[in-house]
Amino acid sequence: MNTRTRMLILTVTGLMAATAIVGYTVNTRDAAAGTSPTGSIDLATADTIVFRDTAPGPDFGHIASVPSAHPDATPTVSSTLCDRFYAANNTAICLQRGGALPATYATVLDHSLHQVRQVKTAGFPNRARVSASGRMVSWTMFVQGDSYLSDDFSTRTAILDTKTGRLIDNVESIPLTLDGKPYQAADVNYWGITFAADDNTFYATVRTAGRTYLVQGDYRAWTARTLRENVECPSLSPDGTRIVFKKRVNASANRPWRLYVLDLRTMVETPLADEHSIDDQAAWLNNNTVMYGRPRQSGGDWDIWAVPADGGGTPRILIPDASSPTPLGTDTGP
């Protein structure tokens, strides 16, 4: 057997082995995906909590739902995959990073979780919100760093008006008034937008010169002003009177934040009963209760917890193996 023939045999053998390996990998992946108990989720369904499933296995990362009255029920799991998710009034925003050449997409979904619009963006999914009417959508990406504890992180926050189609891919262009004076700086970063019921007023975090502030923005006038220092990841209550946020309470990286509720009329803030450090943009289950993702101390698994908004009570696990909670058509309470 000459050298040329020997090389040909080796090449063919290698190709056959590679094909077998690829075929095995694809078939195994397909078989695993086929074991996922998927179902239909309709965002028009009242009294429902929709969330991202974080249980190990084929459902990981899929959007799922449970009845608000029975959060311990077996979830209905959809085929929609997201790294971050939020929804309101038949509109959802799904942030996902993936693909052969990893890219990040912000995808607007309808009530059946079907794609309406997709925006290719940069960075890692971080925060997502939809206004109560479903019109205004916002998302935040980490474009540098992966933690708010880092001094060199950079974020990019976008706003999409689904009625007009207008996309502002970076809100850093908004004129900012800080402590009553016009302010400009190269290190300004915004994140964690939350919308008021008028689809015009919004709240967010701005960071500059090593400090964070709660800002109130006017979408149509395109202006923003600071209201208070040391406020991150605000979330407006259903009645529009309070904001739940994470407050920096410790310089240590071990337990840096704690959830607080701010009364927007009196500007009095109240610490919530959960003393764990929470790095999430909490959501309101109703006017009396907030819910949020909390990682387990034993590892990277997440659960959704709930706690009274008045500072009393005891925190409790609402949905195990879950993150990105969204209440749909839930009674907002008195």
pLDDT in tens, 103-150: 899 999 999 999 999 999 988 999 999 999 999 999 999 886 545 555
Residue type, 242: R
Categorise residue 193: left if φ over 0, alpha if ψ from -120 to 50, beta otherwise: beta
Confidence of residue 16 (pLDDT cuts 50, 70, 90): very low
> How far is residue 235 from each of residues 285, 321, 326, measured CA to CA in Å?
11, 22, 12
Going by the DSSP 8-state scheme, the letter that residue 74 receives in this structure is P
**Closest alpha carbon to 48 in 82, 90, 93:** 90
**Closest alpha carbon to 289 in 316, 275, 309:** 309
**pTM to 2 decimal places:** 0.85
Across the chain, what does the average pLDDT equal? 86
Token pair belonging to 13? 């053998």
Confidence of residue 184 (pLDDT cuts 50, 70, 90): very high
Cα distance between residue 269 and residue 258, in whole Å: 12
Q: What is the pLDDT of residue 150?
A: 58
Confidence of residue 18 (pLDDT cuts 50, 70, 90): very low
Q: Are 49 and 326 contacting, i.e. CB atoms less than 8 angstroms apart?
A: yes
Q: What is the pLDDT of residue 255?
A: 75
Cα distance between residue 239 and residue 307, in whole Å: 18
